[in-house]
Structure 1
Amino acid sequence: MAGLELLSEQGYHVDRCHAGKLCQICARMGIFTQADGSAYPEQGNTKALAAIYGPHEMCGSRSKTLHDQALVNWKFSMAIFTTGKHMQQPHGDCKASEMTLHLKQTFEATILMQLYTRSQINIYIQFLQADSGNYCASMNAATLAVMWDFVCASLGGFIEDTPLADLNYVETLLPKSDQIALLEMNARLHDDHLERIMEAASKACKDVYAVLDQVVWEYFQEVTALLGK
């Protein structure tokens, strides 16, 4: 696809905001009362649910018990109506397995699992609508649901000498420490452009952090007000 079809002369994505800025993002916390943590974020046209249960005692076989840390189970799924065309449930397919592995590797770097020895944590992510940036929405949803630390994700890309946010590139950033937890490339890129895209993706991650931080602050104000009644 030609670059001009993806980026207008004014520097805007097709159906998106300015090239260097995020799509509209909003979120809510405390969606499920029975979960230990839950969240519902919307990023552009992508909508996801996240729920966490635990830490709690091991369920099922005790052979999986880890004596020096918690066992974290991730489950990623997509509803059959998430896209505009009919699709089969992706349970067990390569894409879902890859997504689950990336979430596990990235997020467990922030969970102090050694504090929850011999216990189990279950994290579920389901998409209600998928447009783009599924990994990023998953990570940001899990951040709000788990709330051990902020792990913010964004996409980035490069079209006609213009670095873009939210396109063809995944970077997961720990904004408080300014450390990159995961960086993945889905296409070939000349190393001359890498630094500019890294800057765009990092800025987008920090913009996500600002939004999520505000969501957390408003949620805890609401909870505090309810407890004070």
Structure 2
Amino acid sequence: MAGLELLSDEGFRQDGRRPVELRKIQCRMGVFDQADGSAYVEQGNTKALATVYGPHEIRGPRSKTLYDRAVVNCQFSMATFSTAERKRRPHGDRKSTEMTIHLKQTFEAAILTKQYPRSQIDIYVQILQADGGNYCTSVNAATLAVIDAGIPMRDYVCACSAGFIEDTPLVDLSYIEEAAGGPQLALALLPKSDRIALLEMNSRLHEDHLERVMDAASKACKDVYAVLDQAVREHLQETTALLGDHGSS
């Protein structure tokens, strides 16, 4: 697909956004009573559900026990109905395995694992609907679920994708923009310290442009942080109000 179709002469994208504008983000915390923490995030038309269990005793072979910190166990999957193509193996495909590894690396960098030696924290993320930015939406949902579980982190982890079309950085790419095949990166950032938890590029980008795309992605991650932080504050107020109602009844 030609870059011309992705960016109008007036500088608008196909969905009407400006180049550095996020898709609409909607989120809810505490969506499952059975899990220690859970969250649901919609980023545009991409929808992710995250659940967290733990910290709990190590399950499986004792050999994987870490005596100075918690093991972070992640699993990424895509619902069979999440894309137009029907997926036969939602867990075992190469892309899901890769995403699982990326999530594990991201949250090992953020969770204060040394507070829970000889234990395990499980993070499960499922994409219910895929329309671009699957990894980033997964990270944002998992961050809220970890916070909901009361597990301390160094900072929020906020993720956003970025691309480069017609000499213009674009953030929070939709499926159509991803499918265009231009240079793209995914950034997971700890926004208060500007520390990078994960950076992945899927194609070559000239170093003259890299700084601009990174700056756009970093700014977008901080915009995501503002939305997630607001969701956490609202959830805390709702929970406190509920506890107050129970206490007075």
Q: TM-score range by the shorter chain?
A: over 0.9
Which of 200, 205, 212 is residue 221 of structure 2 equivalent to? 205
Amino acid at match of 1:6: L
How do residues 135-154 of structure 1 correspond to structure 2 at under 5 angstroms? Answer: 135-147=135-147, 148=153, 149-154=155-160
- Partner in structure 2 of residue 132 of structure 1: 132
Quick one: distance in 1 between partners of 2:87 and 2:61? 34
Specify the alignment match of 2:161 in structure 1: 155
What is the distance in 2 between the residues matched to 1:59 and 1:157?
Answer: 40
Unpaired segments ≥5 residues, structure 1:
none
Does 2:180 correspond to 1:164? no
The two structures have a TM-score, normalised by structure 1, of 0.96
Equivalent residue for 1:178, pick from 177, 189, 194 = 194
* Preserved CA contact (<8 Å) 1:46 1:137: yes
Rounded to whole Å, the distance in 1 between the matches of 2:61 and 2:211 is 47
Query: Structure 1 CA distance, aligned partners of 2:172 and 2:81?
Result: 23
Deviation (angstroms), 1:107: 1.3
Question: In structure 1, what residue type is equivalent to 2:129?
Answer: Q
User: Against the structure 1 CA distance between its residues 218 and 98, is the aligned structure 2 distance closer, same or farther, given a 3 Å change threshold?
Assistant: same
Q: CA RMSD in A?
A: 1.2
Q: Is the partner of 2:4 in helix, strand or coil? A: helix
* Partners of 2:200 and 2:87 in 1: CA distance: 26
| Paired residue type of 2:94 | C
Partner amino acid, structure 2, of 1:226: L
Shift in Å at residue 154 of structure 1? 0.5
Letter in 1 for 2:26: C
**TM superposition shift of 1:186:** 0.9
Of 203, 215, 220, the residue aligned with 2:236 is 220
Residues 1:54 and 2:54 aligned together: yes
What amino acid is the match of 1:196? Answer: R
Residues 161-170 or 205-214, more deviating: 161-170
Q: In the alignment, is the contact (CA less than 8 A) between 1:40 and 1:49 conserved in 2?
A: yes
The answer for unaligned runs of 5 or more in structure 2 is 148-152, 174-183
In structure 2, distance between residues paired with 1:96 and 1:182:
17
Residue aligning to 1:29:
29
Q: What does 1:76-115 correspond to in 2, within 5 Å?
A: 76-115=76-115
The Cα shift of 1:196 comes to 0.9
User: Any idea what the Cα deviations from partners look like across 1:28-63, whole Å, max 9, x if unmatched?
Assistant: 000001211100000010001000000011223323
CA-to-partner distance for each residue in 1:64-88, whole Å, 9 max, x for gaps?
Answer: 2221111111111111110122222
Q: Secondary structure at the match of 1:132?
A: coil
Q: Report how far residue 120 of structure 1 moved.
A: 1.2
For the residue of structure 2 that corresponds to 1:158, the secondary structure is strand
Counterparts of 1:140 and 1:106, CA distance in 2:
11
Contact between 2:110 and 2:197, CA under 8 Å: does it hold in 1? no
DSSP-derived class of the 2:172 partner:
strand
Give the whole-Å Cα distance in 2 for the aligned partners of 1:128 and 1:79: 5
Distance 1:16 1:81 in 2: 27
Q: Pick which of 57-66 and 35-44 moved more.
A: 57-66
Secondary structure of the corresponding residue to residue 47 of structure 1: strand
CA contact 2:72–2:107 (8 Å) conserved in 1: no
Partners in 2 of 1:20 and 1:111 — Cα distance? 29
Number of aligned residue pairs: give it: 229
For residues 141-161 of structure 1, the C-alpha deviation after alignment (integer angstroms, 9 at most, x for no partner) is 111011223000011111111
